[in-house]
Amino acid sequence: MRSRLRSFTPFMVLALILAACGGGSSPTPGGGSGGTENLKDQSVTVIGTWTDTEQIAFLSMVQPWEKATGAHVKYTGTRSINDILAAGLRTNVLPDLAGIPGPGQMKEYAAAGKLKPLDDVLDVATYTSETSPGLVALSKIDGKTYGVFIKASVKGLIWFNPKLHDYTGKAPATWDDLMTQAQANKGAANAIWCLGLSSGADSGWPGTDWIEDILLHQAGPDVYNNWVAGKVKWTDPQIKAAFDLYMKDVVANTYGGGTNAINTKFDLAGDPLFATPPGCEFLHQASFITGLGKFAGLKNPTDYNAFPFPSINDQFKTAVEGSGDLFAMFHDTPAAKSLMRYLVTAPAQDIWVKKGGALSANKNANDYTDALSKTMAGLITSATQFVFDASDQMPNAMNAAFKSHMVTLSKGAETVDQALQALQKVADDAYSS
């Protein structure tokens, strides 16, 4: 589907998706908790970024709801979701539910009057009590709930192959320690870092994650959040310091260099960890990587393990960056409302948790198959210095430019100063509109 999607304009894609789905059936009275209504032969059109194994996991997640209600989920996965939804805003051709890339985009869609508030759809008190406070706050606009998090992830984890060198229980405490140990321990490994920036229309986002983690641990949550809000310029010395460190310590020590990184799919970027000889000592990626690439066929802690992003500035050593899959509703049909109620429940989210590669946003979902996943889930629910993925909170134009410049910067097509000046020009427009 992804290759075919790139052959059409976003509007054509959305029109074809909805035509194929057939749209929702005529409304019938709903009520009760999600998954208990009689919605026989109704359908819910859903667009999300999940493809391949993630799409299979999501479809498994909704199967019990389909069986219980008689309704059907018509799902399309695409990495071009920003473009598709932007076209839908102009034409009013939109799915019933969509995986919104982040809180920034959610605010834009709500401001356009397209999203439906969920306060009368969900038991908001229960959702609030069962979900991490940081994620609850990000799902609201002016006190109203416009989105729900059905899956979460911890960013900034450093993954390693313990059969090459085991950092379990003795992870580097600081960035300098990490670089020193990696250089000493990598042995036959080609490089310190594995890196993959390719993700179709979304290419570059793993690079944005790098900048965000470095900035958070260098300058702290206040600078991070003010930068997200457009109050700190891209040309600010604190932002430049994060980009400089990325280029000096990461890209310069990446397997195959920056050119290889931009041509390597993000989900396969960690595979060289398990090659003979190994391609790298470390991979920087979020918790969901365990369900992708070679990770999916391996077991932790024997085949792989991870440790949190090391301290750069001790003031912020407990800071955690996370993200989540945010679902929102464009059409409030009975079936769409029922599915939303179901998706936030612990039993629904436990289905994906059991498959691996996902952390639940619901505190009561705990069917994790390994200790590492339970630990990562605890980082999200108990974090005292928690920030959400920065690029996912930025305006669409800013988000797109950030990803694009991470590609051109990483392959050496521009300098850090050139990239930051260009990004600030985008910010001047994006935050003033």
Structural domain boundaries in the chain:
2-153+324-388, 154-321+390-430
Q: Which tokens is 319 given?
A: 């800071």
Query: Any idea which residue has 């038991």 for tokens?
Result: 123
User: pLDDT tens-digit profile of 134-186?
Assistant: 788 889 999 999 999 888 888 999 999 999 999 998 899 999 999 999 999 98
Q: Return the half-sphere exposure (C-beta side, CA atoms, 13 A cut-off) of residue 410.
A: 33
Distances (CA, A) of 407 to 127, 140, 201, 392, 397: 38, 32, 12, 17, 16
44: Cβ–Cβ under 8 A, 6 or more apart, which residues? 24, 71, 72, 73, 74, 96, 97, 333, 335, 336, 339
Average pLDDT, integer, range 38-60: 93
**Which CATH superfamily groups domain 154-321+390-430?**
Periplasmic binding protein-like II (3.40.190.10)
Contact (Cβ atoms closer than 8 angstroms) between residue 410 and residue 321: no
Output the pLDDT for position 104: 82
Residue 30 is encoded by which pair of tokens? 């709903």
pLDDT at 403: 97
Query: Residue 19's pLDDT band (boundaries 50, 70, 90)?
Result: very low
Residue 398 contacts residue 430 (beta carbons within 8 Å): yes
Vertex 45 angle, CA 267 and 110, to 5°: 85
Per-residue pLDDT band at 34 (split at 50, 70, 90): low
Give the tokens for residue 381: 């629910």
Instruction: Quote the Cα angle for 397-286-366, to 5°.
Output: 120
Residues 21-49: what's their mean pLDDT?
A: 64
Tens of pLDDT, residue by residue over 396-423, are 899 999 999 999 999 999 999 999 999 9
Same-fold call for 2-153+324-388 versus 154-321+390-430: yes
How far apart are the C-alpha atoms of 308 and 286, rounded to whole Å? 10
48 to 25, 75, 261, 307, 412: CA distances (angstroms)? 21, 8, 25, 29, 32
Mean pLDDT, rounded, for 67-83: 92
d(CA 123, CA 328): 15
Contact 264, 407 (CB under 8 A): no
Kindly tell me the sign of the dihedral angle through the C-alpha atoms of 394, 260, 283, 175. negative
Alpha carbons 385 and 401: distance in angstroms, whole number: 27
Distance CA 210, CA 207 (A): 5
Fold of 2-153+324-388: D-Maltodextrin-Binding Protein; domain 2 (3.40.190)
Maximum distance among all Cα pairs of the chain, rounded to whole angstroms: 66
Of the listed ranges 45-54, 378-387, 394-403, the one predicted with least confidence: 378-387
Q: What is d(CA 226, CA 238) in angstroms, rounded to the nearest whole number?
A: 12
Strand partners, 396: none
Report residue 48: phi and psi, to 5°.
-150, 175
pLDDT band at 33 (very low <50, low <70, confident <90, very high): low
N residues, the chain:
433
DSSP bridge partners of 324: 152
pLDDT at 30: 30
Query: Would you state the structure tokens that stand for residue 294, as one six-digit string?
Result: 């070679």
Q: Please tell me the distance from the alpha carbon of residue 94 to that of residue 114, in angstroms, as a whole number.
A: 9
Under the banding of pLDDT at 50, 70 and 90, the label for residue 277 is very high
Q: Against a cut of 0.85, is the pTM above it?
A: no
Inform me whether the pLDDT recorded for 28 exceeds 70.
no
